[in-house]
């Protein structure tokens, strides 16, 4: 298939596909007429990249999964390097969750302080009714 068809089937732009190619994530095969050509395996690669990006993985973080698929494995996460990348992402997410919880606690403490400082005490809460 040509680049336009792959883009349509994968739900991305041709520009995105050329970018993946420039980053070495998508093979750069060309027909004798010079057009880029792709197959269903390339569609799997793009789908794997997009899924991981939806999960918050950066483009470089998708490389172990793409390499795993290119090596002929049935899934991009069938290889040890992919599993390691999952572990790194989970550690990163855990750290971010910890930071967010800390910020939330600080904001909540500021709210309690600000409410206590109001003349006449805390303002009544407005309850939303559905």
Helix (H) or strand (E) holding 101: helix 80-117
Domains of the chain: 3-117 (1.10.1660.10)
78-103 core/surface letters (b: 16 or more CB in 10 A; e: else): ebeebeebbeebeeeeeeeeeeeeee
Residue 99 has pLDDT above 70, yes or no: yes
**Average pLDDT over every residue of 97-124:** 89
Q: What is the pLDDT of residues 32-49, one digit of tens each?
A: 998 999 999 999 999 999
How much of the chain exceeds pLDDT 70, in percent?
Answer: 92
pLDDT of 122 reads 63
pTM for this predicted structure: 0.80
């Amino acid at each position: 298939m040509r680049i336009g068809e792959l883009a349509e089937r994968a739900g991305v732009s041709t520009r995105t596909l050329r970018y993946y190619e420039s980053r070495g994530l998508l093979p750069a095969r060309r027909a004798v007429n010079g057009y880029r050509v792709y197959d269903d395996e390339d569609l799997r690669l793009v789908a794997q990249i997009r899924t991981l990006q939806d999960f918050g993985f950066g483009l470089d973080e998708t490389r172990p999964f793409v390499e795993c698929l290119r090596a002929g494995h049935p899934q991009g996460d069938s290889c040890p390097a992919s599993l390691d990348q999952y572990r790194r992402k989970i550690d990163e997410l855990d750290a971010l969750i910890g930071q967010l919880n800390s910020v939330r606690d600080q904001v909540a403490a500021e709210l309690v302080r600000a409410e206590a400082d109001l003349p006449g005490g805390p303002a009544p809460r407005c309850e939303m009714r559905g």
